[in-house]
Amino acid sequence: MASLSPSSVPSVSDRIGFFDLQGQQRRIHDDVRQRVDAVLTHGQFILGPEVAELEGKLAAFAGVPHAIAVSSGRDALMIGLMALGIGPGDAVFVPAFTFAATAGAVCSINATPIFVDVDPTTRNMDPADLERAVAEVVAAGELKPRVIMPVDLYGLPADYEAIGKIAARHDMVVFSDAAQSFGGRSGNSRVGGMAPISATSFYPTKPLGCYGDGGAILTDNDEIAEAVRTLRSHGRQGTGDVAVRNGITGRLDTIQAAVLLSKLTIFEAELERRDQIAKRYDAGLTGKVGVQKRPAGYFSANAIYTITVEDRDALKAALDAQGIGNAFFYRLALHQHPAFAEAPKRPLPVSEMLASTVISLPMHPELTDAEVDRVIAAVVAAVA
């Protein structure tokens, strides 16, 4: 076996992690422990006071009247669709380039996902292709167009202004998959308040993440909020034992709410740091590789920083050799997953192009400028 010279093996301290939850935890460790201890002491593990406190803080942060904490981002999408009364025969328009959970939630309530291509620069749902997709569904006459579910890819809010106009023309609801974007904004609107209903995720590596699974639904609509509160708890109203709807076990654990209350104390500072890092990457990489365009007035939560290159396997090999974390988000467009093979077929060239060229670089608030510069230098050298 060929021996590697010591200089070619990155030492543990030289490695640049794709995420760094341990570094973040060291900063908030004592506060998290205190809050979790408080939960252990009062013992209300389901819908304890921390859940209500968190919901109030999330709603205030997003500038909406209602935030309802639930068991995961995917459950937030599914419960939201259930609250809207979506089911068999209904069409839900989703971008073709996103995480599988977006379409999975649609399929789990037996509605039909219609895949819409994305814009090559923002990588978010392309309003022009959305128009085409809606026209196709209307012309076919088999499904009822009900919901448009844009995704805020990598943390960048979608074009809700253009999408909202299309929804209004066809009497559809916009339901934002904001799993990656809590903390993002555009103009005066914050994620959670950019669509009539939004779902976010608190998966540990999300910009606001807990130490397990979690999510939330945000809305300004009292009826949707009431339906969601009922659906997340077996369809029961309040603490009653009568199921008024067929719900699920979809609540956020009190312990996870306690963790999130701690994370919220550093969240704004972390968003700022993520923004600085994204801008540093942009400055070093624009013109050399494809970068995600953030339109003027948009602030991304920068969950993930993703570039496009012609030969991503070669870049991956170079980054791996230097101990630089990387991942392919996403290697397949939704219509390329076996699970969604039955969805109606449409041309989705941009999503396919992205699926074969994207590679994501380290992105987390603990990154130093020197580390970001090392990543940039490694990428630039590999693609030269």
Ligand X SMILES: Cc1ncc(COP(=O)(O)O)c(C=O)c1O
111 touches 90 (CB < 8 A): yes
Which of the stretches 83-91, 124-132, 173-181, 217-225 binds ligand X when contact is defined by CB under 6 A?
173-181
The residue whose two tokens read 């205030």 is 60
Helices (H) and strands (E) in the chain, counts: 11, 12
Contacts of 108 (CB under 8 A, 6+ apart): 78
Query: Smallest gap, in angstroms, from Cβ of residue 301 to ligand X?
Result: 12
CB burial string 42-60: b at 16+ within 10 A, e below: eeeeebbebbeebbebbbe
Sort residue 153 into left (φ over 0), alpha (ψ -120 to 50) or beta.
Answer: beta
Closer residue to ligand X (CB): 21 or 38? 21
The closest alpha carbon to 213, from 252, 160, 155, 164, belongs to 252
CB burial string 121-140: b at 16+ within 10 A, e below: ebbbbbbebbbebbeebeee
Closer residue to ligand X (CB): 103 or 167? 103
Closer residue to ligand X (CB): 267 or 330? 330
The closest alpha carbon to 273, from 61, 58, 27, 99, belongs to 27
Stretch 51-80 residues interacting with ligand X (CB under 6 A): 72-74
The closest alpha carbon to 215, from 373, 349, 78, 100, belongs to 78
Closer residue to ligand X (CB): 100 or 321? 100
Give the residue, chosen from 137, 179, 301, 350, that forms a contact with ligand X under the rule CB under 6 A. 179
- For residue 122, state whether it binds ligand X (rule: CB under 6 A): no
- For residue 201, state whether it binds ligand X (rule: CB under 6 A): yes
Stretch 138-157 residues interacting with ligand X (CB under 6 A): 151
- Find the distance separating the first CA and the last CA of the chain, reported in whole Å: 30
Which of the stretches 113-121, 177-185, 317-325, 356-364 binds ligand X when contact is defined by CB under 6 A?
177-185
The residue whose two tokens read 């993440």 is 209
Give the residue, chosen from 164, 215, 284, 290, that forms a contact with ligand X under the rule CB under 6 A. 215
Residue nearest to ligand X (CB): 73
- For residue 24, state whether it binds ligand X (rule: CB under 6 A): no
Closer residue to ligand X (CB): 79 or 361? 79
Closer residue to ligand X (CB): 98 or 230? 98
Which of the stretches 59-67, 87-95, 176-184, 261-269 binds ligand X when contact is defined by CB under 6 A?
176-184
Stretch 331-370 residues interacting with ligand X (CB under 6 A): none
Query: Smallest gap, in angstroms, from Cβ of residue 329 to ligand X?
Result: 8
Question: Using CA atoms, how far apart are residues 351 and 359, in angstroms rounded to an integer?
Answer: 14
Contacts of 306 (CB under 8 A, 6+ apart): 123, 154, 292, 329, 358, 359, 360, 361
Query: Smallest gap, in angstroms, from Cβ of residue 321 to ligand X?
Result: 28
Closer residue to ligand X (CB): 150 or 284? 150
Question: Using CA atoms, how far apart are residues 126 and 238, in angstroms rounded to an integer?
Answer: 40
Contacts of 347 (CB under 8 A, 6+ apart): 117
Looking at this protein, which amino acid is placed at residue 23? G
Query: Smallest gap, in angstroms, from Cβ of residue 280 to ligand X?
Result: 24
Alpha helices (runs of H) in the chain, residue ranges in sequence order: 21-42, 49-62, 73-83, 100-108, 127-140, 160-169, 222-231, 254-285, 312-321, 349-357, 369-383
Binding-residue total with ligand X (CB under 6 A): 15
Which of the stretches 48-56, 99-107, 261-269, 281-289 binds ligand X when contact is defined by CB under 6 A?
99-107
Closer residue to ligand X (CB): 98 or 322? 98
- For residue 99, state whether it binds ligand X (rule: CB under 6 A): yes
Give the residue, chosen from 102, 176, 300, 302, that forms a contact with ligand X under the rule CB under 6 A. 102
Stretch 251-290 residues interacting with ligand X (CB under 6 A): none
Closer residue to ligand X (CB): 181 or 322? 181
Q: Which residues bind ligand X (CB under 6 A)?
A: 72-74, 98-99, 101-102, 151, 177, 179-180, 201, 203, 213, 215
